[in-house]
Structure 1
Amino acid sequence: MQKLTTRDVVKKYNFKFTKSLGQNFLIDDTVLEDIVSGAEVGQEDLIIEIGPGVGTLTRELLKKAKRVCAIELDYDLISILNEELKDFDNFQLIHKDALKVDFNEIIGTEESVKVVANLPYYVTTPIIAKLLKGSYKFKSLTIMIQKEVAERIAAEPGGKDYGSLSILVQYYCNTKILRKVPPTSFIPQPKVESTVIRLDRLDKPKVEVKDEELFFKVARQSFNMRRKTLKNAVKSLGVIDSDKIDEAFKAVKINPGRRGETLSIEEFAALADSIYMFKKV
């Protein structure tokens, strides 16, 4: 029996797309193949998929992986997924908001865990932040996201795309853009282009810092105040006395007149550590 296409499944169940959930389902088989091969899915892998839609990508993952756990928020998709993927005994479905899931409960004792997903645009950044900051033992995240977000993730210092998201992801991962995906690869068609990007989790963060929360706070505030100098951004944090700010910059040989987008992740780490040493008691 020939497998049903995404369009076939949508038509079969008379499924109605919910715009607020950012539902754009893949219809291009070449993109599916590139996602699965790019993620290097193997028989030893537990794959966690967020937002499986009608299960088009899920089906391809199930053929390659040890187990696939799909997390879906839309109640109307649960019965469709269970019916369309009932022949796979390595399929698990969780009806829940991915932002409220304890992924460690899914992972258990599994050693090789990868996230593979066509992420809804509206929750891309919160989900990435949760996955990376949650101390979950993922090997990699291979995700399809809005092209502009992928460019921000992979951006280097000095460019317009470089920002706090770049710092967050590159602190935890090596990044690799796998391919671009045009709007015509989806139903309904989004108004923007998409990109498949792979984030490989580092064994330890790219830089060592004394206070991780302070490190991210310094970076975030520096980019929130792009038109201001680093000195003004640091001052606005209120964690260090004004008369100590110049000393903190001097200690790590960073010009306080620079802008945040010019600093490398190593320089942000050095500055945050210096602020930590001089901060208010």
Structure 2
Amino acid sequence: MTEPRDPDALIRRAGRPNPEFDQHFLVDDRVLDRIPSYAEAFDRSHVLEVGAGTGALTDRLLDVADHVTTVERDPDFAAFVREEFAAEVEAGRLDVLEGDALEVDLPEYTCSISNLPYGVSSEVTFRLLPLGKPAVSMYQREFAERMAAEAGTSEYGRLSVTTQHYANVEVVETVPREAFDPQPRVESAVVRLTPREPEYDVGTETGDSEAVGEQFFLGFVKALFTQRRKNVRNAIRNTAHISGLDDPDAVVAAIDEDVLRKRPGDLDPATFAELATVAADVERETGSEKGGSE
């Protein structure tokens, strides 16, 4: 293992962050050293990093991975990382993809480890999660706590259900503002995402493929949480234009009364899956009846 590069020196050589790109560079050596360790149980042979910045975390990743692919939107920092790590690039151990992480073609990586740009952390996460690869990522602390929240808590919401549909979520470390340059306005947290199959099935309704069933499930969750202060009965009725239900009253009639009295924030992901299955069944039956009467 080589001596790690000094993150402050990297900033001095690379230049100051660009506020337009939501850049907050991690400069605390202790945190930088710990982040790769949270992925020790994962296959780190090919690590994907989103948001290289000046390469401080990239440097640590190259110490534990056979190969690193890092994505950097800022062309100046992408060029700097290529130059700073020219030996690793030449050896075929590091690829620098210049572009938007939401648009570039991603390689066949084994896990991702990133200090995510906060402005796109949600979009990046939900591009990666369906790929079924483990991840360790830095988020705003409030966002991280909502990802890991349990049903019935104030932090629990659509983000919690959607993230936990794909993976086990652990907040493994909180990180103070002072660990970054420039300092963000909020605290941060490192989250470990371990993919797993959910204990419920959402792939048998509304179409012929699992993807269609999952799409309906996630859309149903999204719809109900727009009415999180309402009970489930009213949330279903009020959001048919979002969930795409043709007959929300028929769906309500098919659900147990004790569930209808609850609020969306009281339902765990498995219960949401049960409701989505009922809704999809009712929609199919209603559609069949309409088709047969024409």
Same-fold call, TM cutoff 0.5: yes
- Return the alpha-carbon distance in structure 2 between the equivalents of residues 137 and 255 of structure 1: 31
Query: Structure 1 residues 42, 174: closer, same or farther in 2, change over 3 A?
Result: closer
- Return the alpha-carbon distance in structure 1 between the equivalents of residues 282 and 143 of structure 2: 35
Q: Counterpart in 2 of 1:245? A: 251
Q: Counterpart in 1 of 2:105? A: 102
Query: Structure 1 residues 190, 242: closer, same or farther in 2, change over 3 A?
Result: closer
Q: Counterpart in 1 of 2:264? A: 260
| Contact persistence 2:225–2:264 (CA under 8 A) | yes
- Return the alpha-carbon distance in structure 2 between the equivalents of residues 213 and 44 of structure 1: 30
Q: Counterpart in 2 of 1:214? A: 216
- Return the alpha-carbon distance in structure 1 between the equivalents of residues 229 and 142 of structure 2: 21
Among residues 121, 124, 129, which one is paired with 1:127 in the alignment? 124
- CA RMSD between the two structures: 1.9
Among residues 155, 166, 176, which one is paired with 1:161 in the alignment? 155
Where does 1:114-193 land on structure 2 (aligned, <5 Å)?
A: 114-133=111-130, 136-138=131-133, 140-193=134-187
| Contact persistence 2:42–2:111 (CA under 8 A) | no
Query: Structure 1 residues 244, 215: closer, same or farther in 2, change over 3 A?
Result: same
Matched, 1:273 2:270: no
Give the drift of 1:78: 1.7
Give the drift of 1:84: 1.2
Structure 2, gaps ≥5 residues long: 206-212, 288-294
Query: Structure 1 residues 42, 208: closer, same or farther in 2, change over 3 A?
Result: closer
| Contact persistence 1:24–1:189 (CA under 8 A) | yes
- Return the alpha-carbon distance in structure 2 between the equivalents of residues 42 and 130 of structure 1: 19
Among residues 92, 97, 112, which one is paired with 2:95 in the alignment? 92
Matched, 1:225 2:227: yes
| Paired residue type of 1:8 | A
- Tell me the percent identity: 32
Q: Deviations over 1:24-43 (max 9, x none)?
A: 11111111121110111778
Query: Structure 1 residues 24, 273: closer, same or farther in 2, change over 3 A?
Result: same
| Contact persistence 2:236–2:248 (CA under 8 A) | no
| Contact persistence 1:41–1:65 (CA under 8 A) | no
- Return the alpha-carbon distance in structure 2 between the equivalents of residues 53 and 242 of structure 1: 48
| Paired residue type of 1:67 | H
| Contact persistence 1:230–1:259 (CA under 8 A) | yes
| Paired residue type of 2:69 | C
Query: Structure 1 residues 18, 137: closer, same or farther in 2, change over 3 A?
Result: same
Tell me the SS of whatever aligns to 1:249: coil
Tell me the SS of whatever aligns to 2:59: helix
Tell me the SS of whatever aligns to 2:142: helix
| Contact persistence 1:218–1:272 (CA under 8 A) | yes
- The farther-off stretch of 264-273 and 254-263 is 254-263
Give the drift of 1:21: 1.1
| TM-score after normalising by structure 1 | 0.90
| Contact persistence 1:171–1:206 (CA under 8 A) | no
| Contact persistence 2:43–2:111 (CA under 8 A) | no
Tell me the SS of whatever aligns to 1:200: strand
| Paired residue type of 2:121 | T
Give the drift of 1:274: 0.4
Give the drift of 1:146: 0.3
- Return the alpha-carbon distance in structure 1 between the equivalents of residues 13 and 193 of structure 2: 35
